[in-house]
Amino acid sequence: SILIIDFGSQVTQLIARRVREVGVYSEIVPFSKAEEAFASLKPKGVIFSGGPASVTADGSPRAPQAVFESGVPILGICYGQQTLCLQLGGAVEGGHAAEFGRADVEIKAASPLFEGVWEVGGRYPVWMSHGDRVTRLPEGFEVIATSENAPFAIAADESRHYYTTMFHPEVVHTPDGAKLIANFVHNIVGLKSDWTMAAYRAEMIRKIRAQVGDGRVLCALSGGVDSSVAAVLIHEAIGDQLTCVFVDHGLMRLNEAAEVVTMFRDHYNLPLVHVDASERFIGELEGVADPEVKRKIIGRLFIEVFEDEAKKIAADGKGSPQFLAQGTLYPDVIESVSFSGGPSVTIKSHHNVGGLPERMNMQLVEPLRELFKDEVRALGRELGLPEQFIGRHPFPGPGLAIRLPGGVTREKLDILRKADAIYLDEIRKAGLYDTIWQAFAVLLPVQTVGVMGDYRTYEFVCALRAVTSVDGMTADFYPFDMAFLGRVATRIINEVRGINRVTYDVTSKPPGTIEWE
Ligand code: XMP
């Protein structure tokens, strides 16, 4: 495997992705825990990430000495280049304004790092980050590439297999960067591509069996990709020691609850308890307009319903479940390196089952903890889940309740479901579903005047939202053409009673969020 030591760069996760894309397992660890992680993982190669600090500052982060002593190959990127050079006896000069941008590197000497990719004498575009710079290389290093502002764009000590770049090979703005990382992993470290989803599946099945023994596992199945993939995998490992609980809160999209139950119970034979708790949820939500209060009510009810179900399951005399399965992903697990410190502000209380394990004294089974979202999708394919299910847009735990500003009623839920289904139908027909990260309708608590035939109407406004995003953290509104929007609006107004006006939301995130509440 490859260990990535994180010095706090915004793009460290991309390094892990690039390594995994070439079929090699990689893990990210914050620099403060790198020594332990290096000792336990025993990686065959190490990558130092970039980072916002200045190596010249007192107390700035360093790589553990053990990494250098072990003799494993190292790739140092940006801050990683600087700390590597400094720690091996080179010199770094600070005081340059930090600056990011495109630059061309000129190749001065051959290197296995860009074998088959770049040629000596050629010039190639990279995404450079200037700030501090190395002014004297450690002994044994030579310059392999330069750029106008970076005399040591690439410097390496080939005999010790240490490679350093002042640019970021992990970002797409360095078009050949992924190939350089592949060369490092395959040619320099010498690792083969054996990190595949087929291998992962087999290994996880073994691990789940070892962890669970003959115990019982509960899984909260939401119908989302993560919990579904986790459930199918766990079922493959332990069969009917697993019970899935699908809590239908009545806030799902059109036909969604039925589809989830049919697919998992009938098609996958998962032991699935379908709890219709819609009365309970909608009853408590009726008339509640404050978004945070809605979210809290839903979170509390979810836990209550789940606890009730766990008790019912234990009533069969085969013991109460000791394990709770969750579809936690790697990005939720990676400890981030924060230099600013300080708690971040809560924008929205996210709905999840986080509070359950302590309350019910259960251990977690999290078979997706090591995976990125696209890897979970690949694992889903490996497990035979249908493509249209794997590519589904994310759907928030609190469901349609947070797409109904002003309060939830059954009637409004029905109107919203119909509008949403038409919108998504048109998006699919236009072939745009996979390009868009998430699209949905919102029903506004506003009535406006319209005219249909010879009648005056006074009905609700529907807002349409569609965004592109990589991780949901930032997003851009999707630039539909007007003909498409016109078609959707006409269909919604004609086919959905209760809506007589449609608007399109052109807010990006930030400053907006993706959901309206
Ligand atoms: P926001 O609205 O914060 O949403 O920009 C970012 C992404 O998270 C989803 N989302 C949730 N997912 N429970 C979830 O599981 C929640 O409570 C929740 N709230 C928002 C949202 O749909 C988007 O993909």
Angle 140-143-149 from CA coordinates, rounded to 5° = 140
Residue 350 near ligand 1, beta carbon < 6 Å: yes
Q: Please tell me the predicted confidence (pLDDT) of residue 492.
A: 98
- The dihedral formed by the CA atoms of 16, 20, 25 and 26, expressed in degrees to the nearest 10: -10
Cis before 511 (ω within 30): yes
Query: Strand, helix or coil at 164?
Result: strand
- The residue from 21, 130, 170, 309 that is catalytic is 170
Residue 399 near ligand 1, beta carbon < 6 Å: no
Pair type for strands 26-30 and 2-6: parallel
Q: Tokens 């981030």 identify what position?
A: 336
Q: How far is the CA of 98 from the centre of ligand 1 (A)?
A: 33
Active-site residue flag, 170: yes
Query: Quick one: which H or E segment has residue 230?
Result: helix 225-238
Q: Please tell me the predicted confidence (pLDDT) of residue 359.
A: 76
Q: Please tell me the predicted confidence (pLDDT) of residue 343.
A: 47
Consult the annotation and say whether 224 binds a ligand.
Answer: yes
Consult the annotation and say whether 227 binds a ligand.
Answer: yes
The residue whose C-alpha atom lies closest to atom 14 belonging to ligand 1 is: 396
Provide the 10 A C-beta neighbour count for residue 388: 9
Q: Please tell me the predicted confidence (pLDDT) of residue 342.
A: 45
- The residue from 130, 168, 235, 351 that is catalytic is 168
Residue 438 near ligand 1, beta carbon < 6 Å: yes
Q: How far is the CA of 515 from the centre of ligand 1 (A)?
A: 7
Q: Tokens 């590197």 identify what position?
A: 105
Q: How far is the CA of 394 from the centre of ligand 1 (A)?
A: 8
Query: What is the atom index within ligand 1 of the atom nearest the CA of 509?
Result: 5
Query: What is the atom index within ligand 1 of the atom nearest the CA of 295?
Result: 17
Active-site residue flag, 78: yes
Consult the annotation and say whether 194 binds a ligand.
Answer: no
Token pair in block for residue 387: 């493509």
Active-site residue flag, 158: no
Provide the 10 A C-beta neighbour count for residue 350: 12
The residue whose C-alpha atom lies closest to atom 18 belonging to ligand 1 is: 396
Which residue stretches of 239-367 are H helix?
256-261, 278-285, 291-314, 330-333, 356-360
List of long-range contacts for 335-344, beta carbons under 8 Å, 24+ apart: 335/29, 335/30, 335/33, 336/6, 336/8, 336/30, 337/6, 337/7, 337/8, 337/30, 337/31, 337/32, 337/51, 337/61, 338/8, 339/8, 339/52, 339/53
Query: What is the atom index within ligand 1 of the atom nearest the CA of 398?
Result: 17
CA 325 to chain centre: 19
Consult the annotation and say whether 336 binds a ligand.
Answer: no
Complex-level ipTM: 0.98
Provide the 10 A C-beta neighbour count for residue 182: 20
Return d(Cα 480, Cα 464) in angstroms, integer.
Answer: 11
Residue 513 near ligand 1, beta carbon < 6 Å: yes
What structural domains and CATH numbers belong to the chain? Answer: 2-188 (3.40.50.880), 197-388 (3.40.50.620), 412-504 (3.30.300.10)
Q: Please tell me the predicted confidence (pLDDT) of residue 341.
A: 43
Residue 435 near ligand 1, beta carbon < 6 Å: no
Q: How far is the CA of 348 from the centre of ligand 1 (A)?
A: 8
Q: Please tell me the predicted confidence (pLDDT) of residue 27.
A: 93
Q: How far is the CA of 314 from the centre of ligand 1 (A)?
A: 32
Q: How far is the CA of 396 from the centre of ligand 1 (A)?
A: 5
Query: To test ligand 1's pocket by mutation, which of 348, 515, 516, 517 has the most ligand atoms within 8 angstroms of CB?
Result: 515
Residues of the chain scoring pLDDT < 50: 340-343
